[in-house]
Amino acid sequence: MAVEARSLKVTDTITRYYKEIKAEFKKITWAPREDVIKTTGIVLTTIILFTIILWLYDSVFGVVLQRLLQLLK
């Protein structure tokens, strides 16, 4: 009997949890599609630019390091 009462409490807790999640999702205000597309484009452009900048720095420092190591031989 104690096991049944406990499982009933667990079931009630889980049910209440998902009901609360559903209620919270109804409160969400989603951004308009155009805004999402615009900000996604900005994020992707920024990522691409930083990737190129980091690649250039890495390439330059790699060449400089190779030259320094050749001079030290």
Query: DSSP for 8-59?
Result: HHHHHHHHHHHHHHHHHHHH--PPPHHHHHHHHHHHHHHHHHHHHHHHHHHH
pLDDT at 44: 98
Q: Give me the domain span that covers residue 16.
A: 1-29
Check whether residue 53 and residue 70 sit in a common domain.
yes
Check whether residue 23 and residue 35 sit in a common domain.
no
Check whether residue 39 and residue 16 sit in a common domain.
no
Q: Work out how many domains the chain is built from and give that number.
A: 2
Check whether residue 36 and residue 70 sit in a common domain.
yes
Confidence of residue 11 (pLDDT cuts 50, 70, 90): confident
pLDDT at 73: 81
pLDDT at 37 over 70: yes
Check whether residue 39 and residue 64 sit in a common domain.
yes
Check whether residue 24 and residue 35 sit in a common domain.
no
Q: Is the pTM of this model over 0.95?
A: no
